[in-house]
Amino acid sequence: MKDQLIIGDRKFSNRLFLGSGKYHDSAIIPQIISDCGSEVITVAVRRMDFKNPVNNILNHIPKNISLLINTSGAVNANEAIKIAKIARDAGYGNFIKIEVINDTKYLLPDNEETIKVIKELSKDGFITLPYMMPDLISARKMVDAGAHAIMPLGSPIGSNRGLLTKDFIEILINQIKIPIIVDAGIGRPSQAAEAMELGASAVLVNTAIAISHNPSKMAQAFALSVQSGRLAYTAGLPVVSHDANASSPLTGFIHG
Amino acid sequence: MKNISLNDIPHQTDSDNYQTLIETLPVDSQTTILLLNGDVLKKENYRITHINSGDKIDLISFVGGG
């Protein structure tokens, strides 16, 4: 059976989601997508400096990849709702990563405001993927509000510190029945593999690929690690034991 | 001339409709989202939507982001 990730009405066979920020030159993005096979990429929405316009990121994103609109920049529920509706009304779909942040030092998400956004957008038919601080009670409220996937942070955005919240993400994976996608803080492929081995449904990686000296190679490395972690999870990881368990038979020894 | 605001900056225009206005601005009209007084103005309605003095325009685009 094909190992597909289903979010709302969408199906994906690749479990590495990409962010589109921080690339030295956005023109490299099509190559990155081709290198890692990602089927989802996030973009943000901003008022433009129309006197010094930059090339719109959409000109660098292939048409066949799913755009996940990020509400980043929103500091409260109303702003996030507004961003989502602008993107939808302008014809860019209903696939939304809800990100509400009002903490400027650690960029930690506001779970409470995020739940309000999910409630409102769900009424309007959006597919919502809330970025959140991994907390089981909040995650349950997000599911009840209509979220289609939960995106807990591994560590602060752009920090490359990996799965500092591992134990709490594991609780979500065990208790929440919709996809858990680890977002933020994944700085190296081994950390992506670790998240996938835990049973995450996907990971979202931006900074680690975008700021690499060789983003193309790094995208390939992440693609392999996500596949590897997923395969290991579906195969079933062995039980950890404190004592040794011999791999070779303990009989028939040849003694001198 | 009509006085409007573009992203909160006062702007004067003699354009009659939004199609001609956006053509005078250094933006990619295909990928720019235009909000007229807070609501998305669909591209197919640019030409038939007249500009009134006092209109508040927001020009929005997608940017790279995680």
Q: What is the pTM of this model?
A: 0.91
A222-255 burial code (b ≥16 CB/10 A, e <16): bbebbbbbbeebeeeeeeeeeeeeeeeeeeeeee
In a domain, A194, yes or no: yes
Cα distance from A82 to chain B (closest Cα, Å)? 10
Residue B3 phi/psi, 5° resolution? -95, 120
In a domain, A21, yes or no: yes
Contact status, residue A53 vs residue B28, Cβ threshold 8 Å: yes
Do residue A43 and residue B7 have CB atoms under 8 angstroms apart? no
In chain A, the residue whose alpha carbon lies closest to the alpha carbon of B33 is A90
pLDDT for position A53: 66
Our count of domains for chain A comes to: 1
In a domain, A3, yes or no: no
In a domain, A184, yes or no: yes
Give the residue numbers of A annotated as catalytic, written as ranges. 97
pLDDT for position A131: 98
CATH number where A96 lies: 3.20.20.70
pLDDT for position A34: 96
pLDDT for position A255: 86
3-state secondary structure chain A: CCCCEEECCEEECCCEEEECCCCCCHHHHHHHHHHHCCCEEEEEEEECCCCCCCCCHHHHCCCCCEEEEECCCCCCHHHHHHHHHHHHHCCCCCEEEECCECCCCCCCECHHHHHHHHHHHHHCCCEEEEEECCCHHHHHHHHHHCCCCEEEECCCCCCCCCCCCHHHHHHHHHHCCCCEEEECCCCCHHHHHHHHHHCCCEEEECHHHHCCCCHHHHHHHHHHHHHHHHHHHHHCCCCCCCCCCCCCCCCCCCCC
Cα distance from B34 to chain A (closest Cα, Å)? 9
pLDDT for position B26: 85
User: Which pLDDT tens digit goes with each residue over B50-60?
Assistant: 999 999 999 99
Residue A35 phi/psi, 5° resolution? -65, -35
Query: Which of A29, A42, A48 to mutate to probe the B interface, most B CBs <10 Å?
Result: A48
Do residue A57 and residue B7 have CB atoms under 8 angstroms apart? no
Interface A-B, measured as beta-carbon pairs within 8 A, has a size of 97
Q: Which amino acid is at A213?
A: H
Q: How confident is the model at residue B4 (pLDDT cuts 50, 70, 90)?
A: very high
A23-47 burial code (b ≥16 CB/10 A, e <16): beebebbeebbebbebbbbbbbbee
Residues of chain A with pLDDT under 50: none
| Chain B positions with Cβ closer than 8 Å to A | 6-7, 25-28, 31-33, 35, 39-40, 42, 58-66
Q: How confident is the model at residue B28 (pLDDT cuts 50, 70, 90)?
A: confident
Contact status, residue B64 vs residue A18, Cβ threshold 8 Å: no
Do residue A51 and residue B7 have CB atoms under 8 angstroms apart? no
Which residues on chain B are in Cβ contact (under 8 Å) with A53? 26-28, 61
Which residues on chain B are in Cβ contact (under 8 Å) with A38? none
Nearest CB to A50; choose among B35, B59, B66 = B59
In chain A, the residue whose alpha carbon lies closest to the alpha carbon of B64 is A21
Q: A154 — contact with chain B (CB < 8 Å)?
A: no
CATH class of B2-60: alpha beta
pLDDT for position B56: 95
Question: Among positive and negative, which fits the CA dihedral A55, A75, A150, A199?
Answer: positive
Do residue A48 and residue B61 have CB atoms under 8 angstroms apart? yes
Residue A225's domain comprises 13-47+57-235
pLDDT for position A56: 81
DSSP 8-state secondary structure symbol assigned to residue B20: H
